[in-house]
Amino acid sequence: MTDHQSRAELFRSLHIPGSPLVLVNAWDAASARVVAAAGASAVATTSAGVAWSLGSPDGDALDRDDAVELIRRVAAAVPLPVSADIESGYGRTPAEVGDTVRAVLAAGAVGVNVEDARYDGGEPLRPVDEQCARLAAVRSAGHGAGVPLYLNARIDTFLRGGGDVGETVARASAYLAAGADGVFVPGVVDPAVIRQLVEAIPAPLNVLVGPGAPTVGELAKLGVARVSLGSAVAEGAYAVARRAADEAFGAGTYGALADALDYGTLNALMR
């Protein structure tokens, strides 16, 4: 078994309902090393943070090659399994999505998130059959590369749809049949709804968290298998930059930087 395959198997094994994998999402090599140094079991990228760091908006606007190069840098920066958020696959067709996944695997990732949201001016979510074809292409690319890729199917019914549990479960069933390993439902923080999803979906459930969401311990008791901080960490980092700028340009002081990681610590992580 190659090191790449070993990391893929390790990443898969970390998805345990009731003992969730906690992912503090990174957006560049430095943030990945900071998260790894804090004790992470794996590193996952945030598509929004990646896009912003490269001067692009989130939402299928980033160039595939730029995304893959960033993933390559993150995977090379840490000795941990890396999962890549690839938005809806950086491709118009299932074949193009498959090309993306082959490139992402070659860059060193062992997992991907693929969402069913669309940003082309049509309906907010892709038709189920269309999304299933894209997910099947992802699974085929993983098989072809000989890597047990973990495919996390993101369902945006709560973020961009009506938040219907029935539709979410129906989509989850179809996506699992198409080759998904786990299901990611961002936008859900109500414990009662999370419990419904855990009980109805026969696969590891991933939820998105932030201030006000249930704690990791509470989510574990609900049977959640994966907890993601998503773009919130990048948003927090950029908020510090904004506060520092407002303060320096306004009062002429620097208090916003009082709790910053020091130069020596960060520089040592890059060695």
165-178 and 128-145 helices, crossing angle to 10°: 40
How confident is the model at residue 40, as a pLDDT?
98
Q: Partners of 236 in the beta sheet?
A: none
Mean pLDDT over all residues of the chain? 97
Helix/strand/coil percent split, the chain, to 5? 50, 10, 40
Q: What gap in Å lies between CA 48 and CA 60, rounded to an integer? A: 10
In a domain, 114, yes or no: yes
How confident is the model at residue 65, as a pLDDT?
98
In a domain, 257, yes or no: no
How confident is the model at residue 217, as a pLDDT?
98
Q: Is the pLDDT of residue 75 over 90?
A: yes
In a domain, 267, yes or no: no
Reduced to 3 states (helix: H, G, I; strand: E, B; else coil), residue 174 is helix
Confidence of residue 122 (pLDDT cuts 50, 70, 90): confident
Q: Is the pLDDT of residue 19 over 90?
A: yes
How confident is the model at residue 38, as a pLDDT?
98
Q: Report whether 80 contacts 36 (CB < 8 A).
A: yes
Q: Is the pLDDT of residue 23 over 90?
A: yes
Q: What gap in Å lies between CA 40 and CA 100, rounded to an integer? A: 26
Q: Is the pLDDT of residue 121 over 90?
A: no
For residue 110, the 8-state DSSP code is -
Q: What is the CATH number of the domain that holds 53?
A: 3.20.20.60
Confidence of residue 254 (pLDDT cuts 50, 70, 90): very high
In a domain, 254, yes or no: no
In a domain, 11, yes or no: yes
In a domain, 252, yes or no: no
**Which residues form the domain of 129?**
3-231
How confident is the model at residue 73, as a pLDDT?
98
Total of domains in the chain: 1
- pLDDT tens-digit readout, 213-241: 999 999 999 999 999 999 999 999 999 99
The pTM of the full predicted model, rounded to 2 decimals, is 0.96
Q: What gap in Å lies between CA 57 and CA 173, rounded to an integer? A: 31
Q: Is the pLDDT of residue 163 over 90?
A: no
In a domain, 247, yes or no: no
In a domain, 66, yes or no: yes
Share of the chain above pLDDT 90, in %: 97
Q: Is beta strand 205-208 parallel, antiparallel or unpaired with respect to 226-228?
A: parallel
How confident is the model at residue 241, as a pLDDT?
98
Q: What gap in Å lies between CA 8 and CA 83, rounded to an integer? A: 9
